[in-house]
Amino acid sequence: MKTEMKQGAPTSFLPPEASQLKPDRQQFQSRKRPYEENRGRGYFEHREDRRGRSPQPPAEEDEDDFDDTLVAIDTYNCDLHFKVARDRSSGYPLTIEGFAYLWSGARASYGVRRGRVCFEMKINEEISVKHLPSTEPDPHVVRIGWSLDSCSTQLGEEPFSYGYGGTGKKSTNSRFENYGDKFAENDVIGCFADFECGNDVELSFTKNGKWMGIAFRIQKEALGGQALYPHVLVKNCAVEFNFGQRAEPYCSVLPGFTFIQHLPLSERIRGTVGPKSKAECEILMMVGLPAAGKTTWAIKHAASNPSKKYNILGTNAIMDKMRVMGLRRQRNYAGRWDVLIQQATQCLNRLIQIAARKKRNYILDQ
């Protein structure tokens, strides 16, 4: 019947109720505000100013003047939620809300592939995370070691990534074995890489000056001449490095080893350098139906282009950083899964805000 009225059907074809409403409709139309052609340009400009405007892009993160020849925490080679101090020798992760479940990693700006080299790491603070449930395993833990520049920030969870954790475990490629002592707040871990062991590279660690023994033996042929970089992975802990910039080491160093900062620049290998400007950055947005393979494609594309250091922004990537002993959180979580997913989404929204201020390459997988 509405269609007939729009087409101007005769009144005789309308029900009595519609006929009675016609005068009222005409009266309503007569009360419409007449179009004013006399309004000037200023009126319409005022109306335009009152409209909602698109948000302006956030300002880029200020870059401090820093001597790039120094060994330091690499602000390009770390997770978005790892905050690096101005001196580039210390840092800490975000711990608000769901970030307290996440591991956060960072690598040093220089690596080595020869000699007998070391560095130190001190746990300055176990950050309070009272909002975590009491069932959360190891709410404060640090994993320290070495990795290739092409590895992810998840230390010890893939090949050529070697870590010693505060739970008294060593790991590589997500294989965890008992090693050394447990360590926590205020402990100092010394990390040693010996490239002068014939066909192997030996990695070992000390706790507060006490040698824990050889943790890993790596065939030089397997490394293929690639450099190993100092690497840390933290969960709710603030850490500080000594690459050799301190006048005195925290603890005694194994004889014959040199701090990485004291090596000539020619013997150090610079890690991947990030884009110089936003114009050089790249962002890929995944579009497709659920379960169409977007995440799989994003992971493969990032792995096949290691030089671009893609940061994948998505809830799946966040859940990967909530692992427990290298296993996905689904197998180790007793709480409500929907609540954890909601927290992961909140983390993603925060990471997107952080990402907008940094010059990196991104894949938006959401």
pLDDT computed for residue 11 by the predictor: 45
Asked if residue 5 is part of any domain, the answer here is no
Residues 82 and 203 both lie in one domain: yes
Residues 248 and 301 both lie in one domain: no
Give the sign of the dihedral formed by CA 44, CA 46, CA 51, CA 57: positive
Residues 266 and 114 sit within 8 Å (Cβ to Cβ) = no
Residues 266 and 282 both lie in one domain: no
**Which residue carries 């395993």 as its tokens?**
137
Asked if residue 232 is part of any domain, the answer here is yes
Instruction: Provide the CB-side half-sphere exposure for 151 (13 A, CA).
Output: 31
Domain final residue, candidates 248, 270, 292: 270
Please give the C-alpha separations between residue 85 and each of 42, 214, 351, in angstroms, as whole numbers: 51, 32, 18
Q: Which residue range is the domain that position 100 belongs to?
A: 73-270
The C-alpha angle 171, 173, 175, rounded to 5 degrees, equals 50
Asked if residue 194 is part of any domain, the answer here is yes
Bridge partner list, 116: 194
98-111 pLDDT, tens digit per residue, is 999 999 999 999 99
Residues 264 and 285 both lie in one domain: no
pLDDT computed for residue 41 by the predictor: 56
Residues 235 and 349 both lie in one domain: no
Residues 240 and 310 both lie in one domain: no
Please give the C-alpha separations between residue 43 and each of 24, 32, 34, 46, 49, in angstroms, as whole numbers: 32, 20, 16, 5, 10
Q: For residue 141, which phi and psi values (nearest 5 degrees)?
A: -160, 150
Residues 250 and 315 both lie in one domain: no
Asked if residue 27 is part of any domain, the answer here is no
The C-alpha atoms of residue 281 and residue 95 are separated, in whole angstroms, by 28
Residues 303 and 214 both lie in one domain: no
pLDDT computed for residue 174 by the predictor: 94
Which amino acid appears at position 310 of this protein?
Y
> In angstroms, how far apart are the furthest CA atoms of the chain?
108
Assign residue 240 the CATH number of its domain. Answer: 2.60.120.920
Residues 119 and 203 both lie in one domain: yes
Domain final residue, candidates 254, 270, 286: 270
Residues 150 and 261 both lie in one domain: yes
pLDDT computed for residue 19 by the predictor: 45
> In whole angstroms, what separates CA 257 from the centre of its chain?
32
> Which helix (H) or strand (E) is 106 found in, with range?
strand 104-108
> In whole angstroms, what separates CA 338 from the centre of its chain?
22
Asked if residue 50 is part of any domain, the answer here is no
The C-alpha angle 9, 12, 13, rounded to 5 degrees, equals 55
Domain final residue, candidates 270, 304, 331: 270
Asked if residue 179 is part of any domain, the answer here is yes
Residues 300 and 316 both lie in one domain: yes
For the chain, what is the domain count? 2
Spans of the chain, pLDDT less than 70: 1-64, 326-337
Asked if residue 290 is part of any domain, the answer here is yes
Residues 240 and 323 both lie in one domain: no
Asked if residue 62 is part of any domain, the answer here is no
